[in-house]
Structure 1
Amino acid sequence: MRLTLCLLVLLFSSPVIAQPAQNIVLVTLDGVRWQEIFNGADSTLLFDPVYSRDTATAKKQFWAVAPTERRKKLTPFLWNTIGQQGQLYGNRQLGSRVNVSNPHWFSYPGYNEILSGYADDRIKSNDKIDNPNETVLEFLNKQPGLTGKVAVFSSWDVIEAAVNEKRTGIYASSANEPTQAHSATDSLLRDITTLYPREFGDGVRADFLTYFSARQYVKQNQPRVLFLSFDETDDLAHAGQYLDHLRMVQSIDGYLADLWKLLQGMPQYAGKTAMLVTTDHGRGHTPKARWKDHGTKTADSYQIWMAAMGAGVASTGEQKNGPVLFQNQIAATLAQLLGMEFKSDHPVGKPVEGIISKSR
């Protein structure tokens, strides 16, 4: 009798992990600093005509005295929806720190770390070389019910190498490669992709085309795992175009709001989907011209951020203090949100503690 009573007490008093998500969306915004995510526009760049070609318009669009208001102007979905219903990590002013663990602090090493959960020093350039590491996407694509239900849409062509499309067979629509046309909408997207000016070369597709191509794919194919990788934020920063960089961040925030609304209107996704948003690396901050750069010669560009929301994610908002988190924890966190443990033949960072919602 006593044993039965003890078991009942444990059953009803111990926290239980909430129902895991059935679908996951991973989003990356290339080279977006934590400073803008948590403080909004940087006045030293926003009001400098060297970086913002129309400072009057820049002020009207992005400026407010309070950082909490500025950040909502820049990324309203991130703060009004994810900030209220999910979690945000990386505000170092509040003691929340997220770092890359790879020693390079630029794109391909960062994407490998995000996807494989492993900082591999063999990946030390942005050359388009197929990733030798198993990624969490490859792992998930092997699981029952997920095979053939993993899709990647990226603006930068190197991402298809980062996910090793050739080895894994994962569907990866990357840069300006032509896509199959199954409908009038597909044909239109294909034509625009072919004819739209390629400001940053053939290896980069305009982010709006990446988004709308992914949106159409979701409607038609309903993948269970979606990786959306945007690139123009980094290209505009390297070009020193701060106002345009902010506009692109704001546009992508709008795409995510639109995608979330779409998913919540589809029975397969509504209430069953988690979203995780992050970046591959940070940028410099002092002197202000270092904002254009990143890498080991640019101080603090190892500092990143992360946000999560949806099924299985605890609604604890903006995080304070806590242990230092690392980019290599993202892959295992994605798998855990789906109720799985990501294991591979290489080391994998542990899932982020506290991200999973628990109920009694």
Structure 2
Amino acid sequence: MKQLVCLVVVFFTQIEFSLAQKSSDNRVIVITTDGLRWQDVFKGMDTSIAKKKMYHHGDSLAIFNQFWDDDLAVRRKKLMPFLWGELVQKGQIHGNRTLGNQVDVANPHWFSYPGYSELLTGQVDTAINSNDYKPNPNTNFFEYLNQLPSYKNQVVAFGAWDAFDRILNEKRAGFPVINGYDVYPELNKDPQMKLISDMLSQSFRVFGDVESQDVFIHFQAMRYLKTKKPKAMYISYGETDEFAHEGAYQHYLGAVHHFDAWLKEIWDFVESDPLYQGKTTILITTDHGRGDIQKDQWKSHGKKVQDSHEIWFAMLGAGVKPMGEVKQGAQVYQKDLIHLLADKLHLNFKSERKE
């Protein structure tokens, strides 16, 4: 009997060791773009918005030439060629509500800080009810990873919006959160990183002091990815939200198209580098939706915009079954996504509240 018990203990110990070893090799990248509507992802350019002069600012011919086609499949691929090309073949895309596949935020507020907190902590804290909220008292997934020996000091976040210092609670979490117009002297020891930082600091601040243009964040993140080779990375783009709030649909569509191109660049690097190839799981999503039932509300979101709780997500890479556009009826919430990702990494993450 004692021998049997010993064998069982050894068996389960070996399984745990095997899983831990497998998890230690895994890499993860989470990518968000602020307020990108599921309607544009799954249907492409919306003519009812594009035709209105107040939204195309006299540039309707250009956006129709670039993004319109009568065929929905062609139209959405024109807007997001990587998503509806390589990603749909190799990964999963969820959230097409016309097929009954529903993805929603679970928090009651339907704007950015609560959405990012829900996504990154895997749970809802209803007290987080403002974009100016204090540093997040809830631990996040990347903070959890940074506490694991196999990920320690190999975690980083980049974001266009300067609120991520608070959303990810950089001081407590212990990993670098490079957001907005942050300057990191240590990173600037790399001449290319310093050049990007100098360009950022001297650029015209299109969105004021709180948010940088996405191109700078993208180039910083890509340089870091290629040179530092982190095991866990978060990248957040913001222009899809900024241009939508301005009612500039042509710029919004351009930002979506750029975002898709940057997804391809990230994926192409992952597939070309031996440290990442076959070991990296990527989650792509957004923080909230926007109006659509009332077309003039496409610029807005929040509790007063009845359909702005509707979102979408995509997954690609290690452990992700190639399901393409998921057409089965389902209900998934934003708080579930980081747990789906953790499962792919064989990790059991649970957020903790630390005041």
Q: TM over 0.5, yes or no?
A: yes
**1:201 alignment partner, one of 208, 233, 248:** 208
Match of 2:164 in 1: 159
Contact persistence 2:291–2:305 (CA under 8 A): yes
Does 2:39 match 1:39? no
Match of 2:242 in 1: 235
Distance 1:27 1:294 in 2: 20
- Which consecutive residues of structure 1, in runs of 5 or more, have no partner in the other structure? 1-16, 347-360
Residue 46 of structure 1: how far off its partner (Å)? 1.4
Q: How has the CA–CA distance of structure 1 residues 344 and 128 changed in structure 2, closer, same or farther, with 3 Å as cutoff? A: closer
Residue 285 of structure 1: how far off its partner (Å)? 0.9
Match of 1:108 in 2: 113
Matches within 5 A, 1:332-343: 332-343=339-350
Contact persistence 1:47–1:58 (CA under 8 A): no
Distance 1:191 1:142 in 2: 32
Does 2:284 match 1:292? no
Distance 1:318 1:265 in 2: 25
Does 2:147 match 1:142? yes
Q: Higher mean Cα deviation, 183-192 or 227-236? A: 183-192
Distance 2:192 2:34 in 1: 27
Contact persistence 1:150–1:170 (CA under 8 A): yes
Matches within 5 A, 1:1-360: 22-53=26-57, 54-180=59-185, 181-345=188-352
Secondary structure of 2:230 counterpart: coil
Secondary structure of 1:108 counterpart: helix
CA-based RMSD of the aligned residues comes to 1.4
Distance 1:260 1:227 in 2: 14
Secondary structure of 2:82 counterpart: helix
Deviations 1:33-72 (A, max 9, x none): 0000000000011122211120110100110101111110
Residue 106 of structure 1: how far off its partner (Å)? 0.3
Match of 1:6 in 2: none
Contact persistence 1:97–1:321 (CA under 8 A): no
Secondary structure of 2:156 counterpart: strand
- Number of matched pairs: 329
**What is the one-letter code of the residue matched to 1:268?**
L
Match of 1:9 in 2: none
Match of 2:3 in 1: none
Higher helix share: 2
Contact persistence 1:75–1:250 (CA under 8 A): yes
Residue 343 of structure 1: how far off its partner (Å)? 2.2
Secondary structure of 2:93 counterpart: strand
Contact persistence 1:140–1:335 (CA under 8 A): no
Distance 1:283 1:52 in 2: 18
Secondary structure of 1:308 counterpart: strand
Residue 311 of structure 1: how far off its partner (Å)? 0.6
Residue 258 of structure 1: how far off its partner (Å)? 0.8
Distance 1:179 1:186 in 2: 10
Residue 329 of structure 1: how far off its partner (Å)? 0.5
Residue 322 of structure 1: how far off its partner (Å)? 3.2
Distance 1:343 1:128 in 2: 22
Runs (4 or more) in structure 1 with deviation over 6 Å come to none
Secondary structure of 1:303 counterpart: coil
Residue 128 of structure 1: how far off its partner (Å)? 4.8
Distance 2:109 2:252 in 1: 23
Distance 1:157 1:335 in 2: 26
TM-score relative to the length of structure 1: 0.89
**What is the one-letter code of the residue matched to 1:30?**
D
Secondary structure of 2:189 counterpart: coil
Match of 2:12 in 1: none
Contact persistence 1:96–1:322 (CA under 8 A): yes
Contact persistence 2:105–2:288 (CA under 8 A): yes
